[in-house]
Structure 1
Amino acid sequence: MKTYKFIVLVSLLIISITSFAQEVVTKERAVALALENNFGILIASNNLKISENNKNILNSRYLPTVTGNAGGSIDRQNTEGQLANGDVRLAEGAETRRYNASINLNYTLFDGLGRYYDYKRLKEEYNLSELQARETIENTITQLLTVYYDVARQSENLKSLEETLKISKDRLTRSEYQFEFGQNTKLDVLNAEVDINNDSINIINAKQRLINAKRDLNVVTGNSISNTFAVDTTVAFLMQPNKDDLLNSIYANNVTLIQNEKNIAINEFTIKANKSGYLPSIGLTGSYGWNESANNSPLAFVLQNTNTGVSGGINLTWNLFDGGTTITRVKNARLNLENQKLQKTQLELDITRNFNNAWDNYQNMLLIYNVQEDNIKTAKNNFNRTQEKFKLGQVTSIEFRQAQLNLLTAELARNQAKYDAKLAEVIALQISGELLNVEF
């Protein structure tokens, strides 16, 4: 018996030391790690940089294009020529060399305002990419908090199960003493051992669920947390504002609605850019060239000729009819704009419904959590009374076990309700567009 007690004591000490040595990862640090290392956020950041490059003046077609050309050729020919006096001359292997180089400039002075509206469209696409990055961040934080609170719930569940196992071990010790002194039968000892085995199995399963949840959290944070860590299990409910105020802020802050508005603006610029096909384009050209040719043929009047010079010009191009391509593009762009406006109306209805559902769910979860808190008090009171009676021999081991299980069930239900309410709050904040404006 002394050996058994010593083993239990050492085991509890090891668990205590291990728990003390664990790194505690707060919600704030987990969010910071996710923002820094989450692969989805890193990809969104790169996409934002691509959009920033696209809206640069270098991609606007406002700058001229400059090209350089150079070339050379060598001809070797046999030539026969007759002079005016009738003499015939032969040039065998006459060699002609030609060289040229030029710098050419092309600049579009006017293209029907196509590039003007394309440039505005690129700026709106950059703004849209910012919103898409924000949406990725919001979704990642929601995913992170979901996993984080799952780790917290599994941690508290494990703690409750370990406390249950401790009580069961104390019960076994008491039953063994009572059996030795003839105060009960061997059946009570066997029942206590069976309950210990069941509690131990529950702990094994709970530990595995906790390990899995921690792995999920590590994935969301980009595998940036040490293998051994604990989380903060304290929960504070933040959302106290008026429901109507939050509902009104949806139309200004919800990232999905704002993205839709940017898509509407992009389609409006697309229509105007496509209409530029109805107008002429005016271009400016200029070049500086050098040409040289050398001819060693005896029939040639000039052995070497070199030309250098500058040339410039202006041209107008007007596609009077392109087979209906421009008309089709403009019509399709208008239809896309109409679809975006219809989608906006649909989104407003869907998001309003989703927020109302999320708000009601949050209120219900809070109510359930408060009820479970009261239930915990009742279950603890019942267990304490039953435990005292069990020590006095006034209740059976079966009745004591039932009170113990009732307390465990109440604690697990309370843990579930607490984190369900918190996650419901997170969802409501995300829909309202306020998720990034609060601290958890």
Structure 2
Amino acid sequence: MTIKNTPILLFLLIASAAFAQPVMDLQECLRIGLENNYDLRIVRNEELISDNNVTLGNAGFLPQVSLNSGYNLRSNNADQYPVNGEGTIETRNSNTQTLDAGLNLNWTLFEGFRIQTNYKRLKELQSIGELNTRLAVEGFVADLTAEYYNYVQQQIRLGNLQYAVSLSKERLRIVEARYQVGSLSQLDLQQARVYFNADSSLLIQQYETLNSSRIRLNELMGGDVEQHFLAKDTTILFDADLSKEELFNQAMQHNTSLLLSGKNKTLSELDLKNLRSHNYPYLRMNAGYGFTHYDYNTGTLDRQRTWGPSVGVTLGYTIFDGFNRKREQKNAEITVQNRELQVQRNKLWLESDFANMWLSYQNNIELTNLERESLHNAKVNYEIAMERYKIGDLSGLELREAQNSLLEAEQRLLTAQYRTKLYEISLLQISGKIGEYLE
């Protein structure tokens, strides 16, 4: 890339990035994403399925009623031989037509509380569907918020690099002027051009990074990935006064993953109760109303009709099933124990994650304060270096070192702010307070 073409390319990049772009804040991005994100729409539909399954009929409270009818034609040939030996009686093409219809009802009245347990299980599955949706929404809000502030970070980083290019351009102007009057060598001029090109190259790469973050944001929002917009925020602000005790208590009580593990334990307990229903007898009722019509072409009857209701009950009990009932219940008891162990394990994991996040959050707050001071010193140092360079009291290498120190200090501060924001997001997410970003 030549020095002649670099300013033109940079101008085109800046102009294309800034021209007629709408400005969006975090709440607007979240609103659009919550409506359009495909993963959220899928998990909401799955929740609707679990809602639809909570019915008395699905649990087994209601009877099954069926209606059936049929028609049969039977054609027979017969040879009959009387015992008195009077001769064979032959019957050919004897047709019998049967038409029947019936209404049947089958109803399980009692099966060891299995039906009641099934209904409770369906209600628990409905709650799990709601928690899965809540978990997906929390994860989405955390991901989009993190990516939004990454986009803010990349915008700020772009501004820092634009400023670095302007400093290199000013230095190149000074070197060219001194080279013209003979006070600097061609080596100094070439060195200034190398630095300018290097800063310009970093700026061009930063546009790529910025656009990648923008595309990822558009993907999360479920919209056109080519949509151009700017983040409204011009700095990364974080809450440095979060309460550790409050967040920890909220996490222990409202963490969605922990609540889900508790629901899984409840499901296992209901499965065990379902298996124990086999220890009881069952009572079933059946009823119906039938109609049958016969047509004959032989015999003493020409046709016959029967109709009427029927009702019956069945009381039963499984005395022996190869010890399978005992085995299944024992395994279900072990599963309940495992679910309880998983709940305790998840609590320990949550405590460990919270402790690590809180420590990192506090450390990055301190690091941010330190980097703010470093940036202030780097700015003062560069201003002094530039003044000395203008009067010829500082070499080009020393000025470049001061410029690099300034850029690095800006980048370190930005990184510390972004990392602190990420830990803030994580703390709010595991404590169930991530919805605060929607307000």
- TM-score band by shorter chain is over 0.9
1:130 and 1:330 map into 2 onto residues whose CA distance is 29
Tell me what 1:348 maps to. 347
Tell me what 1:258 maps to. 259
1:426 and 1:408 map into 2 onto residues whose CA distance is 27
Q: Deviations over 1:393-433 (max 9, x none)?
A: 22222221111111111111111111111001111111222
* Alpha-carbon offset, residue 172 of structure 1: 1.2
* Alpha-carbon offset, residue 215 of structure 1: 2.4
Q: Deviations over 1:79-116 (max 9, x none)?
A: 45579996865443222111111111001111110111
1:47 and 1:401 map into 2 onto residues whose CA distance is 59
* Alpha-carbon offset, residue 356 of structure 1: 1.3
Does residue 1:292 correspond to 2:293, yes or no? yes
Does residue 1:175 correspond to 2:175, yes or no? yes
1:58 and 1:219 map into 2 onto residues whose CA distance is 41
- Return the letter of the residue paired with 1:349: L
Contact 1:33 1:224 in 2 (8 A): no
1:94 and 1:346 map into 2 onto residues whose CA distance is 78
Q: Deviations over 1:59-87 (max 9, x none)?
A: 11111101122211112233455799968
Equivalences for residues 115-134 of structure 1 within 5 A: 115-134=115-134
Tell me what 1:308 maps to. 307
Contact 1:37 1:224 in 2 (8 A): no
* Alpha-carbon offset, residue 434 of structure 1: 1.6
- Return the letter of the residue paired with 2:162: E
* CA separation of 1:351 and 1:366: change in aligned 2, threshold 3 A: same
* CA separation of 1:418 and 1:241: change in aligned 2, threshold 3 A: closer
2:92 and 2:8 map into 1 onto residues whose CA distance is 112
3-state SS of paired residue (1:97)? strand
Equivalences for residues 74-223 of structure 1 within 5 A: 74-80=73-79, 90-223=90-223
1:239 and 1:58 map into 2 onto residues whose CA distance is 54
1:271 and 1:233 map into 2 onto residues whose CA distance is 57
* CA separation of 1:262 and 1:48: change in aligned 2, threshold 3 A: same
* CA separation of 1:17 and 1:43: change in aligned 2, threshold 3 A: closer
* Alpha-carbon offset, residue 194 of structure 1: 0.6
Tell me what 1:381 maps to. 380
* Alpha-carbon offset, residue 119 of structure 1: 1.0
Does residue 1:358 correspond to 2:357, yes or no? yes
Structure 2: gaps of 5 or more residues: none
Contact 1:149 1:419 in 2 (8 A): yes
* CA separation of 1:14 and 1:84: change in aligned 2, threshold 3 A: closer
Contact 1:69 1:102 in 2 (8 A): yes
1:156 and 1:71 map into 2 onto residues whose CA distance is 80
Does residue 1:339 correspond to 2:355, yes or no? no
Q: After the TM superposition, which of the residue ranges 95-104 and 11-20 deviates more from structure 2? A: 11-20
Tell me what 1:249 maps to. 250
* CA separation of 1:327 and 1:189: change in aligned 2, threshold 3 A: same
Does residue 1:407 correspond to 2:396, yes or no? no
* Alpha-carbon offset, residue 233 of structure 1: 3.6
Tell me what 1:280 maps to. 281
1:14 and 1:121 map into 2 onto residues whose CA distance is 59
Contact 1:295 1:302 in 2 (8 A): yes
* CA separation of 1:325 and 1:436: change in aligned 2, threshold 3 A: farther
1:380 and 1:241 map into 2 onto residues whose CA distance is 31
Aligned length: 435
Contact 2:153 2:236 in 1 (8 A): no
1:326 and 1:36 map into 2 onto residues whose CA distance is 48
* Alpha-carbon offset, residue 235 of structure 1: 2.6
* Alpha-carbon offset, residue 126 of structure 1: 1.3
Q: Percent identity?
A: 30
- Return the letter of the residue paired with 1:19: A
- Give the aligned CA root-mean-square deviation in angstroms: 2.4
Equivalences for residues 19-34 of structure 1 within 5 A: 19-34=18-33
Contact 2:72 2:97 in 1 (8 A): yes
Contact 1:390 1:397 in 2 (8 A): yes
Does residue 1:436 correspond to 2:435, yes or no? yes
* CA separation of 1:264 and 1:137: change in aligned 2, threshold 3 A: same
* Alpha-carbon offset, residue 147 of structure 1: 2.2
* CA separation of 1:239 and 1:34: change in aligned 2, threshold 3 A: farther
Q: Deviations over 1:207-239 (max 9, x none)?
A: 222222222223222244543222234333236
* CA separation of 1:10 and 1:94: change in aligned 2, threshold 3 A: closer
Tell me what 1:426 maps to. 425
* Alpha-carbon offset, residue 245 of structure 1: 2.0
* CA separation of 1:389 and 1:267: change in aligned 2, threshold 3 A: same
* Alpha-carbon offset, residue 310 of structure 1: 0.8
Q: TM-score, structure 1 length as denominator?
A: 0.92
- Return the letter of the residue paired with 2:246: D
